[in-house]
Amino acid sequence: GQQLNQSPQSMFIQEGEDVSMNCTSSSIFNTWLWYKQDPGEGPVLLIALYKAGELTSNGRLTAQFGITRKDSFLNISASIPSDVGIYFCAGYYQNTDKLIFGTGTRLQVFP
Amino acid sequence: SQTIHQWPATLVQPVGSPLSLECTVEGTSNPNLYWYRQAAGRGLQLLFYSVGIGQISSEVPQNLSASRPQDRQFILSSKKLLLSDSGFYLCAYETGVVEKLFFGSGTQLSVL
């Protein structure tokens, strides 16, 4: 089946640093979603992208829908301790209504 | 506004006992409903999805079943739990108007 390759698997950064993570696939996706999951909680939707090349921000978070429609990027600027968690990308694969999730990026922020 | 409720938050059950997890959605009608399972520190595995009352699609063969007795109610069940059923279970919905999936707060199931 289709799968999304998410990288990096984990990140350990200093507070104040910027963070970048990405999701790639060999297939074309219609929609890209980015989620954050805190321990013991359900994932929370951060940003949704619907058009190739689209760049959308949510506070310190910025995500982009890759121009090839096969990838997406999430950037976090000036990280703070509450950014800690697991970030998942997800995409609706072309011509289906099923959402496919990436394997997640675990982010740790040190003061 | 739309909300999703999932309970219980935590459950400890002995092997061989039955299971019933419930999920309800408010503020929308005819949502698509989903059950996911997440092993510790891992990604999300789709178990079941439903596009309407009584319509259930299973993604993986397993010891679990799902039912949708009402438009906004989704239930995950098992007749006899196995140790391997332990995990974090998440209910989710989408309205079908826009492609966005919203999750409940999850149930941590421990089978001992």
Furthest-apart CA atoms within chain A: distance in Å? 45
pLDDT in tens, A43-66: 999 999 999 999 999 999 999 999
Q: What is the pLDDT of residue B42?
A: 79
| CA distance to partner chain B, nearest, from residue A26 (Å) | 19
| CA distance to partner chain B, nearest, from residue A111 (Å) | 23
A87 close contact with B: CB closer than 8 A: no
Which candidate from A40, A45, A50 shows the least CB-CB separation from B102? Answer: A45
Residues of chain B with Cβ-Cβ distance to A88 below 8 Å are 43-44
Report residue B95's pLDDT band, with 50, 70 and 90 as the boundaries: confident
Apex A33 CA angle, B66 and B50, nearest 5: 20
> Please, are residues B94 and A33 in contact by the beta-carbon 8 Å criterion?
no
Which candidate from A40, A44, A90 shows the least CB-CB separation from B108? Answer: A40
Question: Does A1 have pLDDT greater than 70?
Answer: no
The C-alpha atoms of residue A66 and residue A53 are separated, in whole angstroms, by 5
Question: Does A79 have pLDDT greater than 70?
Answer: yes
Tokens matching residue A37: 């999951």
Q: CB neighbours of A63 closer than 8 A, spacing ≥ 6?
A: A32, A34, A46, A47, A49, A55, A56, A57, A72, A73, A74, A75
